[in-house]
Structure 1
Amino acid sequence: MSAIETYTISIYTENNVGLLNRISSIFQRRHLNIESVNVSKSEIKSVSRFTLLVKLTQDQVSKIIGQIEKQVEVIKAFYHRTDETIYQESCLFKLSTDLLMGNDEIQTVINSSKSKVININKDFFVLEKSGTKEEVEELYHLLDKHGIMQFVRSGRIAITKEEMKVSELIKSFE
């Protein structure tokens, strides 16, 4: 049996209602978890891109790709190991403005984490951080002891290190 690894799945699709549900049901039927999901437009006009982060064996991920590609709206799906991609996550923290005033530790955390304040008012400020999952988690733990009012993070966004001529490949399917 092969080892479980982290894979980034990229799915190029038409933008149709209900497709996310059908994709997630492929995982649900097999009792497999999706770690994160991100959906956005792609580099190709009128084509959406789903980016999924999963922890599976190579056999499982290749079978999943086959099932995903059977969906009518799916143009093409790919999977890549983590070392084959350049990836980031983004997150926002809402914290009390009182923490900024006279708290050198918070200023040090903000500066050392390469995060930035994107909104501030008398009651709270919003801190933005982009980075790896580990960097986001580290910042969360540093700020948690000061009281996080709200927290949200994106799913993984990723591009491949190797050139992928996706536009040309997709045109060949049209």
Structure 2
Amino acid sequence: MAKQWFTISVYSENNVGLLNRISGIFLKRHINIESLNVSKSEIDYVSKFTIVVNTTEKWVHNIVGQIEKQIEVIKAFYHTDEETIYQESALFKIDSALLFDERQIQNIIKESNSQIVTVGRDFFVLAKSGRRNEIDEMHDQLKPYGIMQFVRSGRIAVSKDEMQISAMLEDFKQN
């Protein structure tokens, strides 16, 4: 089986130590977590972990099974990139002189649909949201001009198909 990108969605109670136990599952299998985001979900008092890994379907299936064995985990799912709608965000800190002196910087901003967040005497900050490859492309275009600081968020994602987690929780409450 070939490796590919998977987005793992984990719905859980918000308890101390769960993140450590989940990351340990990946550590034991020597699988690197490429991106991790934890936020509240569409369900009150339920957190959603969004984890991105590059592995085989066999491995991701086994990992999701192990994650679901954690007491606080309500349900875990995995999806391919084609099965999800996802975004990442990035901030680029660049020398302010370039904004006015380098026409190509203005073209990069315009063509990448990025936004100027702030402009100061010494630097300006660009924000870019999009798919990983779009942010990588913008990074590659700006790198020759000098990036003072760069940060990228974890992936946020929703599945294209309906997630049955809300119905599952409603059934659980009624039993």
Query: The TM-score by the shorter chain falls in which range?
Result: over 0.9
**1:5 alignment partner in structure 2:** 4
1:131 equivalent to 2:130? Answer yes
Structure 1 unpaired stretches of 5+: none
Separation in 2 of the partners of 1:79 and 1:173? 22
Cα offsets for 1:107-144 (capped at 9, x unmatched): 00000000010111111111000011110000001111
Residue 102 (structure 1) shift: 2.5
**2:85 alignment partner in structure 1:** 86
**RMSD of aligned alpha carbons:** 1.1
Separation in 2 of the partners of 1:138 and 1:155? 17
Residue 78 (structure 1) shift: 0.3
Q: Which ranges of 4 or more aligned residues in structure 1 deviate by more than 2 Å?
A: 170-174
Paired positions, count: 173
Residue 32 (structure 1) shift: 1.2
Residue 155 (structure 1) shift: 1.3
More helix per residue: 1 or 2? 2
**1:96 alignment partner in structure 2:** 95
1:150 equivalent to 2:149? Answer yes
Separation in 2 of the partners of 1:74 and 1:124? 44
Q: TM-score, normalised by structure 2?
A: 0.95
Q: TM-score, normalised by structure 1?
A: 0.96
Amino acid at match of 1:146: Y
